[in-house]
Chain A
Amino acid sequence: MTSTTPPVGAGPLQRREARLAWGLLSPTLISVALVVILPLLAIFWISVKPVELADLRAPAPVVRDALRGSGDDLRLEYRLRNSSQEQEVRNVVLTATLPDGVLPAGDLPDACTLEADRLTCRFDLFEPGHRDRLALPVTLDGTSADAAKDALRAAPATATGESDNVLTDTTFTLDNFRKVFDGGEFWSVLWVTLFYTVFGTIGALLFGMFAALLLNKSFRGQGVLRGLYLFPYVAPVIAVAFTWVTLFDPFSGSINALLLQMGATEASINFFGEKPLALIMVTVFEIWRYFPLSFLFILARMQSIDTDMYEAADMDGASPFQQFWYLSLPQLLGILSVLFLLRFIWTFNKFDDIFLLTGGNAGTRTLTVNVYEQAFALSNIGAGAAVAVVIFACLILFAVLFFRFLSREEGL
């Protein structure tokens, strides 16, 4: 008699389903690995390398060829140089094809060999900034100098060489991190980031809630207003950021003209150029641009609250503010905290807005803007990567919080 026991482990159907699932997911997983995971790993690697912006162009030999002289003195000239002033290039090989009808008329330069019409020259080493000139006497046979020049232009000589690449060798340094944490600058950047993130997030939430309360009733034109209030979020950041810059321009800006005319200010204010004001302005911009998002979510949540509860509260004599405080707010707490977390992280990550408004000047340099500043303005890619690593560390902290929170919040 065979005993019937439930099957152990995954059955064939189940395994097939799992295989199919991974198959369906694989395009996503592979692309994410290539574009997200790989760069993230690269950031850690670069952050401990002494890489400058100039190092991205690897040193290479550069060659220019030309047909010079005339008559008996006709020669093919190859001018070679090392493109880098700092690094040597090794094993340089020059390859050129002699045009049809151009024949060598003298000794080849020492470094060169000629096979049929293929000229190959080898050099062991090019010092930094090294230049060299090779001349090959030639005669013309059945072709004109102009035709030969055209042929040269059509198939120019090429040169290859080997050089050290600071990105792939094994020199490591902690200078990048030292530079980032050096002096008081880092702490001021961190403080600006925190100010921007905290006030930008809270402000966007408060304004979003206010707007949601306004539109949480049906009246004619409600749809129009809702569409209108989403404009700042939907429009391209570049358009609205430049509009704000134009609007608040200290010389030709309308807001300054308005304030002057109303007598609210004596002299025009440089909104995006003065130290404490610029930070406040970029935070206000952040609030302005992202209140629609919180507004949308909060409104969606409000509309799903049962209205019976409010009727009952009305019967019991609760005043409107009491209804909001004791009935609506507790219902909205879930969505508010989720929004707070999401917005907090996204504001922390925000780069474009500040970059377009102030370029990180006038005390508005956040961590993300600092990545760009270090890597491109100061041409120190390594230091930029080091800042990126700091950002990433902060994000991991947030992610831990986020996951802990998610497990409690069933709505998501």
Chain B
Amino acid sequence: MNLLRKGGVTAWIIGALWAVTMSICVAIVISFSTGRPLAPTLLSAAALGGLAGLALVARKGEGLALGRWLPVGGAFLVAIAAHIWDGPAMRGTAETGALWMAVAWAGFAATVAGPLLVMLKELQPGPNSRHDFEAAVIRFLTGFGYVFFTAIVAIPFYVMVMTSLKSQQALLANPLDFSIDLSRGTDLFRSYVELFRDFNFGRYMAISAFVSVATVAITILFSVPGAYAVSRLRFSGQAVMSRSILLIYMVPMIVLALPIYIGFSMLGLRNSVFGLLLIYPVTTIPVALYMLQGYFRGIPAEIEEAGLMDGLSRLKVIWKITLPLSLPALASVSLYVFMIAWNEFLLAFMLLDDPSKFTLTRGVAMLNSSEIPRQHLMAGAVIATVPIMVLFLGLERFMTRGLTAGSVKG
């Protein structure tokens, strides 16, 4: 442990790990954006990074301790060996081209040196305090975390969008090439045009929008009075009610979907948007009720009592006092319910067979067939994702509050 806390050793290890991360990142970024082959050479990247780390710490020191120079020498040896067998940090082929190799190396140097400067700024050569050592480790972990999470979230969405803009041949020829051929002009959006023209996606979008908005409206209509009753009115069973609401949330959809499928088959409600609208709101009412009752509890009862004293009825109080005060909560709940309804897949998949009545998610599921090219499927995924993302980014404040209020407060 004490050896680990020596400035040189810490810097060497952090530098090596960071450089490995960065060489992989740069290689992926260059590969995914240009389609040119580029592979990280981890050993040499580690050696280079370790060296950079050492240099950054050693410049602060004056005395030359043997403990500092041993790893330096080792790093040099490994680095030199790696340089001979492999490319430094990254290895390309003739296809990669000198220009992109230079870009890659420049990117690698910048992304290693810059963050390392910050990570190692408090480290001294020789023994460090536990506080400084851990601070450096945490700064490394933070940097790694940002890169890691951003990568795992961004890559799938990047691939989704880019695949939808490619042609079938280009995809098969080089699955890594996500560069956009701008010379194709509007032809880039061919998959989208075909989806809207030949696959009826405009209609599916309209149906999805209608179903989602109707679900929100019905949910609010049902859950506001319920939430008010549970949070404000005294009656026996109030405590049981406010708790058992969440229990409904625990019933798996597939367990309900089977009998609903059977019932709808017999009643002839399958293949109808009306049938969906009978089910969707009920899956969201309990959540909405739970979220709203939490919010209603936070509104001072005195305001409502003043309304009652002035001669308003309970329903008028809800309409004129409670609802205007809880507009932000209503926005959160609506957004959350809209998201659930828009994204719902299982029921739409089981209950709808008629292509003229598909919702958007059901329409995308239809595209998952070997006869339909991949870029159409991805274009469908983009069409399903974009509206909800736009809504979400525009109203993120409400969304996050809605999500957190949905289950736990404080």
Q: Please, which residues of chain A bring their CB within 8 A of the CB of B251?
A: 36, 40, 349, 392, 395
- Name the one of A20, A240, A385 contacting B314, with C-beta atoms under 8 angstroms: A20
B388 within 8 Å of A by Cβ? yes
Decide if B282 is an interface residue (CB 8 Å cutoff).
yes
Question: Are A252 and B374 in contact (CB-based, < 8 A)?
Answer: yes
In the complex, the answer to whether A31 meets B404 with C-beta atoms within 8 Å is: no
Residues from chain A with a CB closer than 8 A to the CB of B380 are 239
Whether A235 contacts B389 in the complex (CB less than 8 A), given A17-B234, A242-B378, A351-B253, comes out as yes
Q: A256-B175, A351-B346 are in contact. Are A239 and B233 (CB under 8 A)?
A: no
Pick out which of these stretches binds chain A: B47-55, B76-84, B105-113, B154-162: B154-162
B1 adjacent to chain A (CB < 8 Å): no
Please determine whether A36 and B248 come into contact, CB atoms closer than 8 angstroms. yes
Residues of B within 8 A of A236 (CB): 342-343, 345, 360-361, 364, 381, 384-385, 388
Of B144-152, B180-188, B189-197, the stretch lying at the interface with chain A is B144-152
**Cβ contacts A314-339/B at 8 Å (1 or 0 each):** 00010111000000000000010011
A18 to B250, Cβ gap below 8 A? Answer: no
Contact residues in A for B33 (Cβ distance below 8 Å): none
B40 within 8 A of A: yes
> At the interface with chain B, which of A117-125, A145-153, A184-192, A222-230?
A222-230
Q: Which of the candidate stretches A86-94, A98-106, A293-301 sits at the interface with the other chain? A: A293-301
Contact B233 A21 (CB under 8 A): yes
Q: In the complex, A406→B247 CA distance in Å?
A: 12
B345 touches A223 (CB 8 A): no
Q: Is B142 in contact with A214, judged by CB distance below 8 angstroms? A: yes
Number of interface residues of B (CB under 8 A): 104
A169 CA / B256 CA spacing, docked (Å)? 22
**Interface check B172, CB cutoff 8 A:** yes
Shortest A267–chain B CB gap in Å is 15
B385 to A258, Cβ gap below 8 A? Answer: no
**SS class of chain B's interface: helix, strand, loop or mixed?**
helix
Asked if residues B250 and A20 are in contact (CB atoms below 8 Å), the reply is: no
Q: Are A371 and B254 in contact (CB under 8 A)?
A: yes
Q: Would you list which residues of chain B between 259 and 292 have a CB under 8 Å from chain A? A: 259-260, 262-263, 265-266, 278-279, 281-283, 285-286, 289
A352-B408 contact in complex given A231-B153, A257-B175, A375-B258, C-beta closer than 8 Å: no
- A210: chain B residues at CB < 8 Å are 145, 149
A28 at the interface (CB under 8 A from B): yes
Task: Decide if A307 is an interface residue (CB 8 Å cutoff).
Answer: no
A319 touches B130 (CB 8 A): yes
Q: Is the CB of B254 within 8 A of A35?
A: no
* Contact between chains at B153 and A228 (CB < 8 Å): yes
Closest-CB distance, B166 to chain A (whole angstroms): 11
With known contacts A24-B229, A225-B150, A243–B223 Cβ distance under 8 A? no
Instruction: Describe A's contact surface by its main secondary structure.
Output: helix
Which chain A residue lies CB-closest to B238? A21
- Count how many chain A residues have C-beta atoms less than 8 Å from C-beta atoms of the other chain: 101
Measured between C-beta atoms, what is the minimum distance from A275 to chain B in Å?
23
The stretch from B24-32, B61-69, B326-334 touching chain A is: B24-32
Q: A18-B235, A31-B222, A296-B400 are in contact. Are A40 and B407 (CB under 8 A)?
A: no
Q: Are A46 and B254 in contact (CB under 8 A)?
A: no
Contact between B226 and A24, CB atoms less than 8 A apart: yes
Q: Verify if A253 is at the interface (C-beta below 8 Å from B).
A: yes
Known: A43-B255, A242-B364. A226 touches B400 (CB 8 A): yes
CB pair B160–A243 under 8 Å, yes or no, is yes
Establish whether residues B255 and A40, one from each chain, have CB atoms under 8 Å apart when the complex forms. Answer: yes
Contact in complex: B410, A24 (CB < 8 Å): no
Please give the distance in Å from A111's CB to the nearest CB on chain B. 29
The reply to whether B381 and A239 contact each other, CB–CB distance below 8 Å, is yes
A42–B365 touching, CB < 8 Å? no
**A238 is an interface residue with CB less than 8 A from chain B:** yes
Q: Which of B31, B159, B221, B407 contacts A342 (CB 8 A)?
A: B407
What's the least CB distance linking B355 to chain A, in Å? 16
A40 and B233: CB pair below 8 A? no
Q: Does B305 contact A (CB under 8 A)?
A: no
Within A51-109, which residues are at the interface with B (CB < 8 Å)? Answer: 56-58
Residues of B within 8 A of A (CB): 27-28, 31-32, 37-40, 130-131, 134-135, 138, 142, 145-146, 149-150, 152-157, 159-160, 163, 171-172, 174-176, 178, 221-223, 225-226, 228-230, 233-236, 238, 241, 243, 247-248, 250-256, 258-260, 262-263, 265-266, 278-279, 281-283, 285-286, 289, 314, 339, 342-343, 345-346, 360-361, 364-365, 368, 374, 377-378, 380-382, 384-385, 388-389, 392-393, 396, 399-400, 403-404, 407-410
**What are 14 sample pairs from A and B whose C-beta atoms fall under 8 A apart?**
A25-B229, A35-B282, A39-B260, A39-B263, A43-B258, A232-B156, A234-B392, A238-B343, A246-B160, A249-B175, A296-B400, A338-B407, A351-B346, A384-B258
Q: Top 6 nearest A-B pairs by Cβ distance?
A: A349-B252, A239-B381, A18-B235, A24-B225, A39-B259, A42-B259
